[in-house]
Structure 1
């Protein structure tokens, strides 16, 4: 795992847990890599035949696309990559965030949650991945709430959204909220935790994983709404990454133990 900051990442815990259960002689670490250092980092890693690749987090997701030799369709659509994997002499950039969001949205739908109108907090790389996932599962009624209205407007036009963006603290209406910003992360305030306008069968999906129980999640649970937290997201995107890195599916039969450890 590479990015900046990186110290709070739980990804090493997840991958090491699976490696131990499968008795695979591999390792998964984390390294702080600043934006201007990514090209040099990759140049040093690529000649190493034992290097399986890396997950990429903020602020490197956009740069990972431009520095790769090949880019998957989902990474192209999202304009961001959260995984880099060597394949022969070529480096492939992918996006397992999109598939993770698609899976978790499908689970909400199967549980009978309302999907009429979705509010998306954010306009960065994570928000782009969410929009790709929403479009892939047929959720077209999405309203962006953001601090940077110019970037949000550009994103809304690019994805053909029917509603103009709104300020991050504007009243939320409809079925569900997806938070694709760092707001609510340790050290960052939640600028809009008002869930009073959501449907009774509404839901909140917060991509923040540290802490897992954010103020937004707490507000949703206090109203009796269904919640999906950043730990759910982290494990699902890690599962797809693990299979690419180590050429084996993760042992999901141990999920209860893994989730208990991650949320402790």
Structure 2
């Protein structure tokens, strides 16, 4: 009998770090199971799910671009928070072979911010740079935690549409990404009781992609810079933030956090997070 397995699907998929993360945890727990990567093109998505649904060893899959929204109508149910976010990044199979879609991106994104979010603030603002699939989860997560959002994209109309869909209450703002490219002399004043985030939720700055043009004069003192890009891990965006005196969070934080939430769905045990240091070393070799 085949050993249990889960996998990640996408197009392309070779760059995914998910197999390394899940197989590291499986090894530390001594579980007889494995995690794979499977290249699935858009026109193959329905056939892929039909085949896996009937395969006894398959426990589910993570879903990466470009399938996070396209997969939703192919599932038996979509549970919170994926239904609100409008994107699925994890599919798991129940004992009756039904397929449920969920989203662990929001939980993974929020995980490294837990200590900050536990505090009381006079005001919370997040500048979210990007309007793609990851931005959907981030907008939804932060709107539910008292943030005023500024979403910046190449197409401000798309940014506005995301806010109207995912954060319909509150005085949020949609602007052009180029707004942040040039310096500003805006005086921010006292931000001691405020929580300010600046988030690169786009692929800009990733290997093979243009750099994200962001001038750090747009970030209030004491801001937290968060980049979801994982290759390279120390992006120019994060380097600029540190040079301006800001705290930084890299893309592995969200990646590991969202993977841990999915791992329990697939393999029935919690990921051994006490080994995060060793995992990070493995992923950055």
Q: Same fold (TM over 0.5)?
A: yes
Alignment partners' CA distance in 2, 1:113 and 1:183: 30
Give 1 or 2 for the bigger CA radius of gyration.
2
- Write the mapping of 1:66-77 to structure 2, written as runs, cut at 5 A: 66-77=73-84
Matched, 1:94 2:102: yes
1:253 Cα deviation (Å)?
1.2
Tell me: CA distance 1:113–1:189, structure 2 relative to 1, closer, same or farther (3 Å).
farther
Q: Does 1:168 align with 2:177?
A: yes
Of 3-12 and 115-124, the range deviating more from structure 2: 115-124
- Residues 1:113 and 1:8: Cα distance change in structure 2 (over 3 Å): farther
* TM-score of the pair, normalised by structure 1: 0.93
The Cα shift of 1:149 comes to: 2.2
1:115 to partner: Cα distance: 6.1
Q: Which of 51, 57, 62 is matched with 2:69 structurally?
A: 62
> Are positions 1:137 and 2:145 aligned together?
yes
Which residue in 2 is equivalent to 1:177?
A: 198
Alignment size in residue pairs: 263
**Secondary structure at 2:222's aligned position in 1?**
strand
Q: What does the per-residue CA deviation read over 1:152-203, in whole Å, with 9 as the maximum and x for residues that have no partner?
A: 1211222225243111121288722112111111111123232222122101
Q: Is the 8 A contact 1:68 1:91 kept in 2?
A: yes
* Aligned equivalent of 1:29: 36
Name stretches of at least 5 consecutive residues in structure 2 with no aligned partner: 1-7, 189-195
In the superposition, the TM-score normalised over structure 2's length comes to 0.87
Q: Secondary structure at the match of 1:29?
A: strand
CA contact (8 A) 2:11 2:65 kept: yes
- What displacement does 1:112 show? 9.4
**Structure 1 counterpart of 2:192:** none
Shift in Å, 1:128:
1.1
Structure 2: how far apart are the matches of 1:191 and 1:114?
A: 30
Distance 2:77 2:149 in 1: 30
1:246 aligns with 2:267: yes
Q: Which residue number corresponds to residue 233 of structure 2?
A: 212
* Higher alpha-carbon deviation: 94-103 or 239-248: 94-103
Q: Any unmatched runs of 5+ in structure 1?
A: none
Question: CA separation of 1:222/1:41 partners in 2, compared to 1, >3 Å: closer, same or farther?
Answer: same
Question: Which stretch of the first structure deviates more once superposed, 71-80 or 147-156?
Answer: 147-156
**Cα displacement (A) at 1:111:** 8.4
Q: Offset at 1:150?
A: 2.3
3-state DSSP of counterpart to 1:28: strand
Counterpart residue number, 1:157? 164
CA deviation map 1:9-53 (0-9, x unaligned): 111111010000011011111111122211111111110011010
The CA distance in 2 between the partners of 1:114 and 1:194, in whole Å, is 25
RMSD in angstroms over aligned alpha carbons? 2.0
Q: Are the aligned partners of 1:56 and 1:81 in contact in 2 as well (CA < 8 Å)?
A: yes
Per-residue CA deviation, residues 119-141 of structure 1 (Å, 9 max, x unaligned), is 111222211100111023222x1
Contact 1:3–1:59 (8 Å) recurs in 2: yes
**Counterpart position of 2:85:** 78
CA distance in 2, matches of 1:198, 1:21: 40
Q: Which sits farther off after the overlay, 88-97 or 173-182?
A: 173-182
Correspondent of 1:222 among 243, 250, 260 = 243
